[in-house]
Chain A
Amino acid sequence: MAPVRGDGMRGLAVFISDIRNCKSKESEVKRMNKELANIRSKFKGDKTLDGYQKKKYVCKLLFIFLLGHDIDFGHMEAVNLLSSNKYSEKQIGYLFISVLVNTNSDLIKLIIQSIKNDLQSRNPIHVNLALQCIANIGSQDMAEAFANEIPKLLVSGDTMDVVKQSAALCLLRLFRTCPDIIPGGEWTSRIIHLLNDHHMGVVTAATSLIDALVKKNPDEYKGCVSLAVSRLSRIFTSSYTDLQDYTYYFVPAPWLSVKLLRLLQNYNPPTEDPGVRGRLNECLETILNKAQEPPKSKKVQHSNAKNAVLFEAINLIIHNDSEPNLLVRACNQLGQFLSNRETNLRYLALESMCHLAQSEFSHEAVKKHQEVVILSMKMEKDVSVRQQAVDLLYAMCDRSNAEEIVQEMLNYLETADYSIREEMVLKVAILAEKYATDFTWYVDVILNLIRIAGDYVSEEVWYRVIQIVINREEVQGYAAKTVFEALQAPACHENMVKVGGYILGEFGNLIAGDSRSAPMVQFKILHSKYHLCSSMTRALLLSTYIKFINLFPEIRGTIQDVFRQDSNIRSADAELQQRASEYLQLSIVASKDVLATVLEEMPSFPERESSILAVLKKKKPGRVPETEVRDSKSPVPNHNNAQTQNHATTNNKISFSNHTSDLLGLSTPPSQQQNSQNTLIDVLGDIYNNQSSSSSSAVNNAKNSDDSRFLFKNNGVLFENEMIQIGVKSEFRQNLGRLGLFYGNKTQVPLTNFQPVLQWPAEEGKKLNVQIKAVDSTLDAGAQIQQMLTAECVDSYADSPSLQLAFRYNGTPQNFTIKLPLTVNKFFEPTEMNAESFFARWKNLGGEKQRAQKVFKAQIPLDLQGAKNKLSGFGMQILESIDPNPDNLVCAGIIHTQSHQVGCLLRLEPNKQAQMFRLTVRASKEQVTTEICNLLVDQF
């Protein structure tokens, strides 16, 4: 048995041995349950249980917990141990509580009392035990209970060093829970001056604390910079014997050095003072120099500690990004590490170089190591290192080396680990687009991507290549020729068929002159893949075929035969069936001119940022370097981010062209109509405007909480009872909306504790961001107050926020919940279009997720004019004389969100005999389709 020191608990050791000797999981559980039953009965029955026994049983419970079982008793006994006068019992009590008590336990009060007592102890060991416990639990309660004591302990001259160390870290932990705990004022400088403490342990602990404080309040703690630099330079100029036990394997104070170097990364530039700056640069140079010295020990601990400091120094150099000399030296040093035999160093060097590649000063220096990095990507045994190499290649890529890097990445992709393929595909696609000077190269790269790693090529990637080909005339013929050749392969990835189908359908005519790619040959090669493809691809190919009829009238018969095949025109898949029969009819009835108009070439896509980049950013937040070499930083510390962010949001608000239309959906260019919502027909009349807020005569017909009325109008009385009337006025523009709520007190007494609270789940709040202004808590008799709300539609969403209104009327609490008129249709922009484009879009939106249909009973009597008014109030454009049946209503609109626009088409067909309506909605986004359908069902 293992040696047991001091206060060995034999019973515990026996129990642990028993458990270890169990041959099976079952016998282990059996033995454990026996013990649990025993402990339970001891805790329940035996009032005379002494401290030793309690300690022993609590320890056994801990052991059982560590085996992975749940423990639901024993907490009280552990808390009892805290006040034991035997240290070993107290210590076990604290251990149990640290490991097993959660922060909202009922026992927390008792625990806090015990900790208070121990903090008062003269014995520093007891004080530390208490501090460690606070740091372990670190709850809000603890922060409140000890907000006074711990800062005092930290800076008091009487406190022993060991206690100061614990107090600093304890305070740090509480600060993380509750940032208000740190006293300001004179405390600031006392805390900063801990950096000058004579005890290295105290300085190390205090540096962690100061680092966190600086992050919250850089200006207040600015004084720490010069102290930190002095401390650093003292460490590096000292000989390693000076620091005695704080020298770790011949490296002076590595932990403190790293922490100080981290602390300095909170400021940019670290200091305006040229003297301090000079000393800092000296330190950094010393560190770089030392890296070149022969190692003082062969032990890995020596090199790890030394290089830990070096890497942190390089981080600081990169962060400052102002000393070209240091940046290049750092880069050379990292370059040496790239061929070090320690895998860890190679990994870190690649990672760190990734940051250097983004500095204008060291970008070129990083590029010198391209060959080694490519080798790393190919040869490293460890996939995490290969991944770093890929990241670095991505970061160091620019116009000069793009072709080579992309080619190498493509080569590697053939054998790359499955875990990193998808990301690599995205990276290759982005680099190829970004640095293409010749778009034929870009087309080649993407087709190669599909050939090599087709399964990992996401929709965004192949959508993008099509957008680019459509937008760039010079590459269209080449693209057609290349996809045609790629399709010759007997086994073609389905994504290749999609791209091929789309491009040949648009530009097949450009290569039709060559007899080897004559119309019939093009058609046959595509159709040879048809039966192997999913129905989505088949649907796409059917569209290609009808385009072929337009481009190549000579093969019309062959294609019509294909449409007529049972597997198409009678396909079990409704979409295929519909396309086949509609295309067939179109090809029969439409004149050549009509066909040419309907099947005209796709218009150019709006230029915008690649959506692929967005996907990559989403996949690896924080790890995607902006491939742009960044400019040298402005000298303003830490404000950069905030500024760019603000800038970005304003940009988003005003730019309409930045929307991400998806390729196969409709991307109607924003129409010129503005303020369309102002033309709303107010279906039920604007009651609100016709009355003064205090009169109650005209409001009798205002229905309470009939939310659906506000689907079709923006102003009116939202809610009314005998106490209060709530009116609303709203306006919407693009993806922004503003709502004014008018609360009128109808009674003769003030309404108090007046509190409207927005109810909108945080999850939804990300899609529809609603801000509400506060209002006074008293609403005087007969008075009216106004509350403003702003809403920003970020993404499509369902339902609408509610307002919970609570107030007291004559002392009686009142509570209502009212739906706010903020359904997604408010962000519609009506869109005018002619029949041709309407039908083309309608067909394009044929995907299963893009359409929704409901049949419902009409309100009696069926009111067509009313329905028309409502739809117009709903926000869509009513398109006249599109539907051959004049009773059918057809509408179009675009929903504006911050990130994109969703095109939406609608058709409402009345059946007068049956007094029914059939509603069909098609939109480029599934959620919108269903939501619009749900909102409108049963409304006519």
Chain B
Amino acid sequence: MMQFMLLFSRQGKLRLQKWYVAHADKVKKKITRELISTILARKPKMCSFLEYKESKIVYKRYASLYFCCAIEQEDNELLTLEIIHRYVELLDKYFGSVCELDIIFNFEKAYFILDELLVGGEIQETSKKNVLKAIAAQDVLQEDETPQGFFEDHGLG
């Protein structure tokens, strides 16, 4: 079972965090800090797996973003790399060549897509087509709604 997934930039800024195990905020921050600094210090050709406390860390860099997952001892490292890749593919498909900015400005979408891929730290749907279908169905529901707040956003509300 995956324990958490972190997305952070080369500058060490956290962009997304999803926790599948309960930790106090202080602990989460500490783990995040430690992992970001450990991983950023590693060289490109190094292996993508680390031991961290009782868990295994699997990470991969895509452009300016690092994707980092913690899994349990019995979990499969290579396939975790491919979960990350599948997630990147989904983001890419949804945003159209995704970049870090997309994830910053549309973090909620990034969460929704992740929730379709993984539930409770386990893979829910491995088919790219099916995940995209589910996300598209959500978007259709949204588009049915009349846009509001236009005036308010322009200070006319």
Give A residues with C-beta under 8 Å from B: 1-7, 9-11, 13-14, 16, 20, 50, 52-53, 56, 59, 62-63, 66, 68, 70, 86-88, 91-92, 95, 99, 102-103, 125, 128, 131-132, 135-136, 138, 162, 165-166, 169-170, 172-173, 200-201, 204-205, 208, 244-246, 248, 253-256, 258, 262, 301, 304-305, 307-308, 311-312, 343-344, 346-348, 381-382, 384-385, 622
Contact = CB atoms under 8 A, between A and B. Distances in A.
A103 to B, nearest CB: 7
Contacts of A95: 108, 111-112
Interface string B78-97: 11011001100000000110
A244 B129 CA distance: 10
Contact of B145 (A11, A88, A307): A88
A304 B82 contact: yes
B149 to A, nearest CB: 4
Contacts of B147: 7
B124 interface: yes
B124 A245 contact: no
A253 B82 CA distance: 12
The residue among B1, B14, B120, B142 with the most chain A CB atoms within 10 A of its own CB is: B120
A20 B9 CA distance: 14
B104 A20 contact: yes
A622 B73 CA distance: 10
B105 A52 contact: no
Given A308-B78, A381-B45, A384-B51, A68 B29 contact: yes
A66 B122 contact: no
B78 A1 contact: no
B3 interface: no
B127 A245 contact: yes
A116 to B, nearest CB: 19
Nearest to A342: B47
Given A169-B122, A201-B127, A308 B82 contact: yes
Contacts of A132: 115, 119
A66 B17 contact: yes
A936 to B, nearest CB: 42
A13 B124 CA distance: 31
B104 A87 contact: no
Given A11-B149, A56-B149, A305 B112 contact: no
B47 A255 contact: no
B120 A13 contact: no
Given A87-B145, A384-B51, A305 B127 contact: no
Contacts of A1: 105
A305 B82 contact: yes
Nearest to B46: A382
Contacts of B124: 165-166, 169, 201, 204-205
A87 B29 contact: no
Nearest to B94: A5
B101 interface: yes
Contact of A165 (B47, B79, B121, B125): B125
Given A125-B137, A311-B76, A311-B78, A347 B49 contact: yes
Contact of A201 (B29, B96, B126): B126
B134 interface: yes
A66 B14 contact: yes
A162 B25 CA distance: 32
Contacts of A205: 119, 122-125
B37 interface: no
B143 to A, nearest CB: 6
A305 B81 CA distance: 9
Contacts of B149: 9-11, 50, 52-53, 56
B108 to A, nearest CB: 6
Contacts of B138: 87, 91, 125
A245 B79 contact: no
| Chain A interface, >50% SS class | helix
A201 B82 contact: no
Contact of B142 (A7, A244, A346): A7
Given A166-B124, A170-B120, A347-B49, 16 more contacts: A2-B106, A3-B96, A5-B139, A10-B149, A11-B153, A52-B148, A91-B138, A125-B138, A173-B119, A200-B126, A201-B124, A204-B123, A253-B126, A311-B78, A382-B45, A382-B46
Nearest to B24: A102
Interface of B: 1, 14-17, 22, 25, 29, 42-43, 45-51, 73-74, 76-79, 81-82, 85-86, 95-96, 99, 101-102, 104-109, 111-112, 115, 119-130, 134, 137-139, 141-143, 145, 147-150, 152-153
A6 B143 CA distance: 6
Nearest to A208: B122
A6 B126 CA distance: 25
A162 B76 CA distance: 25
A7 B79 contact: no
A308 B49 CA distance: 14
Contact of B123 (A52, A170, A255): A255
Contact of A344 (B22, B43, B77): B77
A129 to B, nearest CB: 9
Contact of A68 (B14, B16, B49, B129): B14
B79 A308 contact: yes
B88 to A, nearest CB: 11
Contact of B79 (A170, A173, A304): A304
Contacts of A92: 108
Contacts of A7: 142-143, 145, 147
A135 B45 contact: no
A325 B74 CA distance: 24
B29 A170 contact: no
The residue among A66, A103, A262 with the most chain B CB atoms within 10 A of its own CB is: A66
Nearest to A305: B82
A344 B47 contact: yes
A1 B153 CA distance: 16
Nearest to B50: A384
Given A62-B107, A70-B25, A311-B76, A91 B82 contact: no
B71 to A, nearest CB: 12
A348 B16 contact: no
B34 to A, nearest CB: 15
6 contacts: A52-B149, A66-B14, A92-B108, A165-B119, A173-B121, A258-B76
Contact of A254 (B29, B82, B150): B82
Contact of B78 (A5, A131, A348, A622): A348
The residue among B47, B107, B109 with the most chain A CB atoms within 10 A of its own CB is: B47
Given A95-B111, A170-B120, A87 B141 contact: yes
Contacts of B96: 3
B45 to A, nearest CB: 6
**Nearest 10 CB-CB pairings of A with B:** A173-B120, A308-B78, A245-B127, A87-B141, A135-B120, A169-B119, A308-B79, A343-B47, A10-B153, A52-B148
Contacts of A102: 22
Contacts of A6: 139, 142-143
A102 B50 CA distance: 29
A499 to B, nearest CB: 33
B132 to A, nearest CB: 10
Contacts of B152: 11, 53
A92 B145 CA distance: 15
A664 to B, nearest CB: 34
A169 B120 contact: yes
B119 A254 contact: no
A87 B107 contact: no
A382 B47 contact: yes
Contacts of B48: 343-344
Nearest to B56: A351
A825 to B, nearest CB: 38
Contact of A248 (B16, B50, B126): B126
A763 B111 CA distance: 40
A194 to B, nearest CB: 14
A381 B119 contact: no
Contacts of A254: 79, 82
Nearest to B130: A201
